[in-house]
Amino acid sequence: MQVMSEKDKQRNGVITRGPLPLLLYGANSHPSEKVRKELWEILDRWVEGFRPQHSPSIVREAILGFKGTFLEPFKLDSNNLRIATFLIRLAFSSAGGQTRIRINSALNSYNSGGLVMTHNLRGYYVEMLACGDNTKSPRSLWAFNPGLKPTPRAFPPMLPAQGWIGDQGFEASIDLGKVKNKNWLPESLVFEKLLEHSFLMNNRKNLRDLGIKVRVKNKRLHLSIANPELMIKLGPKICSGEGVKIKLKKYHINNLQPFIQLGMQFLEEEPKPITAQLVLEETDLGGWVYTDFLFCPKIPMELQRIIEKWLPVSSQEIDFYNQKAA
């Protein structure tokens, strides 16, 4: 029987390891108004590409319609309302795939309680008082706790990566040459284990069972999708704005060791830059935002450097600033 850690016992939301909460934190809290505005413009354009079920105005109206209780009122300021609206629209989109999301009151300094909203913008209120009608906070949901002070984390390092349509079908190549994390040194990879524990997002089959191939050459991890049936199935996504998302793991699916998240989105035979990130740690910012959405919009390099310098500097595990363009 697995024993839960103290972190797990305190978490009232999904395990969060993608960069999205960091971008929301930057859009809300960066000292530069120009940076905040630019980040919000990028985020808003990005979420529209996932065909949210509801417009911003309808979501805002639904949120403001919940008042909480007399003893536990539900209140959000304009900044928190914008973040909540964004998360709800992403959750109830073609990519989010959620049926519920929990939005807490800014007056609540805990990571439990608040409004649990469903995909049809209805919901119920989770109270902190033991005598309340609903007192149990769901632990498997996306959640936003604006009453908590965010604990910043370093932005997940980007890895130079390319994608193209070639002789081996849809192909991708990730440069592992600058990675310092011992788990992802090219010489440490065991292909059979990597294929066994890696999978397509929104598809629980591992890469081995799907017939996807991997190899290493010149310190680059090469991945190819050559199975005709799989190419027909994934082709429309890879060649569109939706893309295909892959989680590369060396260990068991529930293991919290560093992993690589790869986004395959291209439609040319000429190699083009694609998104790959080395995910090192949980990024819920101390319970501020919980979401298992692993990807984020593409950020211009200069803006990413500004965010990287503003967030706490950790052992980057990769020589980020000396990367060459993929």
Residues 213 and 127 in one domain: no
Q: Could you say which of 245, 260, 279 is where a domain stops?
A: 279
Residues 170 and 118 in one domain: no
Residues 179 and 251 in one domain: yes
* Confidence (pLDDT) at 319: 37
* 164 φ, ψ (degrees, to nearest 5): -165, 165
Residues 23 and 126 in one domain: yes
* Residue matched to tokens 């929301």: 24
Residues 31 and 116 in one domain: yes
Cα within 13 Å of Cα(321), Cβ side? 8
Q: What is the pLDDT of residues 116-170, one digit of tens each?
A: 999 999 988 887 655 556 656 666 789 999 999 998 777 777 788 999 999 999 9
Model confidence at 256, pLDDT cuts 50, 70, 90, reads low
Model confidence at 261, pLDDT cuts 50, 70, 90, reads confident
Contact at 8 Å (CB) between 38 and 303?
A: yes
* DSSP per-residue string spanning 74-89: ----HHHHHHHHHHHH
Residues 252 and 114 in one domain: no
Residues 304 and 314 in one domain: yes
Residues 275, 295: Cα–Cα separation, whole Å? 9
Residues 78 and 123 in one domain: yes
Residues 6+ apart with CB under 8 A from 83: 24, 27, 28, 144, 146, 289
* Confidence (pLDDT) at 153: 75
Residues 141 and 286 in one domain: yes
Residues 146 and 182 in one domain: no
Helix or strand (DSSP H, E) at 309: helix 301-310
* Confidence (pLDDT) at 132: 54
Number of independent structural domains in the chain: 2
Residues 150 and 296 in one domain: yes
> What is the number of residues in the chain?
326
Residues 12 and 151 in one domain: yes
Q: What single-letter amino acid sits at 294?
A: L
Six token digits for residue 145 = 């706790």
Residues 177-185: what's their mean pLDDT?
80
Tell me which residue range forms the domain holding 315: 1-156+281-326
Six token digits for residue 133 = 């009608």
